[in-house]
Amino acid sequence: MSQKFHASVQHRGDVSYVKLGGVIDEDNELGDLVDKIPTGTAVIDLGEIERINSCGVRDWVNWLSKLETNGTRSVLVECSPSIVAQINLVNNFTGSGVVKSFYVPYFCPECDEEKVLLVEAVDMGPPPHEPPTCRCDECDLVMDFDDMPDSYFAFLSNQKKLAESDKINGAMRELGRSESTDSKKVRSRASQPNLTSKPSVPSLPSIQKSSTHPSSSAFGNTPTGNKQSKPPSRPQIGVGRPPGTMQTGPNVMPGNSFGFASQASNPAYRDAPSKSNALVFVLIAILLAAIGVLAYLVLTK
């Protein structure tokens, strides 16, 4: 099995639990799993899929088609955000199967924390679909949904009804794959690299944050005991720095609140007036000498 791609198959009656992880690209080994999955229901766990490229999408669709030809119907569980993105982009990505559960991404602007919440598709109800409420473990504030609801939940509008859901849930509990535990419903995206990116959206260049944060304002020290506010999780231009607060960092010189060195603290600015005045005097002297030479030549003719 490829180091980038890993898979395991378990059976309980006519239900096969297929857990996939890693990267689905041109080096995937999905074809080797066809003979390991008998006729019945294949519950495919996609919670640890980091990403899938165009070659992987092609092989995935062909693989599901082979399973359906063999009389196996697929049920997708714990779909990571990268899989949800492909479901919304590729019409036949799920084949004739259904999505039972998927992860919803969130971030906290106060704590700069990112998490994903496991949601049952049947619990989303009819459209328009809104993300469920998810609270931050650090500050207990309601976290922000890290996508656009209309695009992220678009696949639910064409979602098929899951048949024999009790049978599937029972088989998953027997296999120790129950999705009902709270510890499995919420994951930290920082500790789960596969859940941090959405490959369908091109990444934008990030704005580097300052390595140090000011401990006092320009007009006085911060009172002892006050909790300093943490930087926002998303860089904002013109927002996030209180008025009068000095910008600090290894490449910023002390001075005003805009991060520029003041003239009084920079020796280059103190020496600039004297040097410019001397240059003016030299130019005037040269001009007067030229006028004197020209006048002498005119008068002596």
pLDDT at 280: 86
Strand order in the sheet with 113-120: 144-145, 101-108, 113-120, 186-188
Regarding predicted confidence, which is higher, 106 or 204?
A: 106
Please give the share of the chain, as a percent, with pLDDT higher than 70: 66
Regarding predicted confidence, which is higher, 122 or 259?
A: 122
299 by DSSP, 3-state: which?
A: helix
Pick from 41, 44, 46, 37: nearest CA to 15: 41
From the CB of residue 280, how many other CB atoms can be counted at a distance below 10 Å?
A: 9
CA angle 95, 36, 122 (to 5 degrees): 40
Residue 178: pLDDT band by 50, 70, 90 thresholds? low
Q: Are 230 and 112 in contact (CB under 8 A)?
A: yes
Tell me the mean pLDDT in the region 188-194: 50
Q: Are 102 and 179 in contact (CB under 8 A)?
A: no
Kindly provide the b/e burial profile for residues 111-145, where b requires at least 16 CB atoms within 10 angstroms of the residue's own CB. bebbbbbbbbbeebeeeebebeebebeeeeeebbb
The class level of CATH for 5-195 reads alpha beta
* Range among 34-38, 160-164, 223-227, 280-284 with highest mean pLDDT value: 34-38
239 by DSSP, 3-state: which?
A: coil
Q: What are the beta bridge partners of residue 42?
A: 16, 74
Tell me the mean pLDDT in the region 162-190: 69
| Sequence spans of domains, the chain | 5-195, 253-301
Tell me the mean pLDDT in the region 194-200: 42
Regarding predicted confidence, which is higher, 300 or 229?
A: 300
- pLDDT greater than 70 at residue 193: no
pLDDT at 297: 84
Distance between CA atoms of residues 137 and 140, nearest Å = 6
**pLDDT tens profile 140-159:** 999 999 999 999 999 999 88
**pLDDT tens profile 260-289:** 344 444 444 445 456 677 888 888 999 999
Regarding predicted confidence, which is higher, 216 or 52?
A: 52
Pick from 15, 116, 129, 155: nearest CA to 75: 15
pLDDT at 240: 40
pLDDT at 188: 65
Please give the share of the chain, as a percent, with pLDDT higher than 90: 47
Q: What is the mean pLDDT of the chain?
A: 75
Pick from 135, 124, 118: nearest CA to 177: 118
**pLDDT tens profile 6-43:** 999 999 988 999 999 999 999 898 999 999 999 999 99
- pLDDT greater than 50 at residue 209: no
pLDDT at 187: 66
Strand order in the sheet with 5-12: 5-12, 15-24, 40-52, 72-77, 98-99
